[in-house]
A and B are shown apart, each in its own frame.
Chain A
């Protein structure tokens, strides 16, 4: 069971805005550790989407944005497109007992 919780699924029509929350705690996101986001298209390896809470790597469309507040982070996709249908994972560091890098539980985005 991951220490970063995401909803199993979200959906939206083309052109709509969807958000994916990543809920953590005082030992990870709330401790100031950065949050990063990955997109995994069906049958492929994950791809870095957002790093350092809110920065986009070169080539990632500005429809994707990240934010963080308190013990939670969020990924927003505006102008949803069919090609955005994928699994999305947040990632951070948990400075609990043994310290570990952790991924969120993952969210499947469906474009209606």
Chain B
């Protein structure tokens, strides 16, 4: 059974930066696309970013392009999300998740989720 554990959340000022990490275990990490999803307090889910098995092909939602960077280290079974130029509307719980199928094909879905890490952007 796969497990995903996020870390790195916290309180940051507007304009600041933060790096989220996700440790994966229980499955062959380099076989799968990986994804970050976020959920603002009391709101719905938003697909933030995805990265292919090789770490080269990446996808970002428009609202974070140029500010967030997704990356992975297959040797350490680790996924990261670098958050920069943070705004108040980036405040959310950020979930790490495993994707099934090829996310560049438009049909991928998320079968394992971590417990989430809270990012609060406030002065």
**Residue pair B44, A2 in contact (C-beta under 8 Å):** yes
Interface size class of B (residues with CB under 8 A): 20 to 34
B44 near A91: Cβ-Cβ < 8 Å: no
> Would you call B109 and A36 a contact (CB within 8 A)?
yes
Interface mask (B42-59 → A, CB under 8 Å = 1, otherwise 0): 001111001000000001
A33-72 vs B, Cβ < 8 Å mask (1 yes, 0 no): 1101010000011111001100001000000000000000
Determine if A100 and B44 form an interchain contact, defined as CB atoms under 8 angstroms apart.
Answer: no
Q: Which residue of A lies closest to B93 (CB)?
A: A45
- Interface flag for A105 (CB, 8 Å): yes
Q: Are B113 and A46 in contact (CB under 8 A)?
A: yes
**A34: which B residues are within 8 A, CB to CB?**
107, 109
Contact partner of A95 (CB less than 8 A), chosen from B50, B106, B109, B110, is B106
Bound complex: CA of A89 vs CA of B37, how far in Å? 13
